[in-house]
Amino acid sequence: MPIRQQMSRAIEALNQRDFAALEALFDADAVLDMPDGQRVIGFDSIRDTLSAYLLRHDARFANGVAMADEAGLRGAYDGTIDGTDSAGTSGSGEGARFSLPCVLVFEGEDDHLTRLSLYLSSAL
């Protein structure tokens, strides 16, 4: 499956909190890099980290454009992450809605994603 299609399915699965569909896209030993520098290895850890993060902020990815390299091994989703500031770290107060620029970088090999890196303009 082309990396653009894998990225699209991954974004859709994340927004729907469909971690079974997400697991089908990832290698069992995949790596996740979070904005705070945390790195987790293995899909079970990826699922736990992403589900806690997305649920804590009621976050969804939106307004994105997908790009891929010519070899089809790397791609990026440049968009926004929209959610609720549950910890009051945005400066607008706890419970305030936010929309931040974000980039998700995907790497794949043999029809499975092997790495996902999430970059935000501000830490949540």
How does pLDDT run across 78-111, given as a tens digit for each residue?
999 999 876 655 555 567 888 999 999 999 998 8
Alpha carbon separation from 22 to 6, 42, 89, 123 (Å, rounded): 9, 13, 29, 24
- Can you give the pLDDT at residue 56? 87
Whether residue 52 contacts residue 34, with contact meaning beta carbons closer than 8 Å, is answered with: no
Residue 52, classed as helix, strand or coil, is helix
- Cα separation, 71 vs 76, whole angstroms: 13
- Cα separation, 28 vs 53, whole angstroms: 20
Whether residue 36 contacts residue 123, with contact meaning beta carbons closer than 8 Å, is answered with: yes
Q: For the chain, which residues make up each domain, given as ranges?
A: 3-120
Give the pTM.
0.87
Provide the residue type at 95 as one letter: G
Q: What is the CATH number of domain 3-120?
A: 3.10.450.50
Q: What is the pLDDT of residues 41-89, one digit of tens each?
A: 999 999 999 999 898 889 999 999 999 999 999 999 999 999 987 665 5
